[in-house]
Chain A
Amino acid sequence: ELKVEQNPLFLSMQEGKNYTIYCNYSTTSDRLYWYRQDPGKSLESLFVLLSNGAVKQEGRLMASLDTKARLSTLHITAAVHDLSATYFCAVPRGRGTSGSRLTFGEGTQLTVNP
């Protein structure tokens, strides 16, 4: 059974600081997704990581994937208040072409304080 673990689950940080969220998963996968969810809102796709060593950057967020270690990181650089949200990583189960069964991590609730 695929397990996806994120840590930390809660993160309170000051504006301008850097931090990293970790996502470990238990079975082989060649791709991983990061989503953001604001309170009461939908999930917004942030990154798709498709291969070992993949690195993607968008603004103050950078995501990477190490498929051998079964680990993805989401690095936050010089945090700003607008980044406050819950961040989920998600890993697909199975290799079917009929749509992806995503297993989500528990989510990291990030609060950026002035």
Chain B
Amino acid sequence: DTEVTQTPKHLVMGMTNKKSLKCEQHMGHRAMYWYKQKAKKPPELMFVYSYEKLSINESVPSRFSPECPNSSLLNLHLHALQPEDSALYLCASSQVVRGRAKNIQYFGAGTRLSVL
């Protein structure tokens, strides 16, 4: 099973709303990622969690707040977003191993977010 599940699939929110995106995996992966993907563009890394601790923040604005409550779950809390934040938000997970491991990232189907 290489499934990463994201909810909701679609989300429309106003600029004053607070909402959360959820991501779940049961592959035993200890690295989890959030990416943002605009239309016709490649995914851009936002955050990396390793062993439930934030290890990488790619200078993401504070209106995006990640959370990793346990090894299977990853959340992205959204507050006071701007219309330009509208995008597909992808979650991914991978093993954390040393050396020449494959370290493939497995992606969820994404949440398509529209900010009005």
Contact = CB atoms under 8 A, between A and B. Distances in A.
A98 B56 CA distance: 9
Nearest to A35: B107
A88 interface: yes
A104 interface: yes
- Please classify the interface of chain A as helix (H, G, I), strand (E, B), loop, or mixed, using the class held by over half of its residues: loop
Given A98-B50, A100-B105, A107-B42, A42 B100 contact: no
A39 B106 CA distance: 17
A105 B42 contact: yes
A97 B110 CA distance: 25
B38 to A, nearest CB: 12
Contacts of A45: 104-106
Contacts of A69: none
Contact of B43 (A41, A48, A104, A109): A104
Given A30-B100, A97-B98, A98-B96, A106 B106 contact: no
Contact of A100 (B40, B94, B100, B106): B94
A88 B90 CA distance: 15
Contact of A48 (B45, B90, B104, B107): B104
A102 B15 CA distance: 30
Contacts of B50: 98-99
Interface in B42-72: 42-45, 48-50, 55-56, 58
B115 interface: no
B48 A42 contact: no
A25 interface: no
A102 B45 CA distance: 7
A43 interface: yes
Interface string B72-114: 0000000000000000001010101110101111111110100
A41 B100 contact: no
6 contacts: A31-B100, A31-B103, A33-B105, A43-B43, A98-B55, A101-B45
Interface of A: 30-31, 33, 35, 40-45, 48, 50-51, 88, 92, 96-102, 104-107, 109
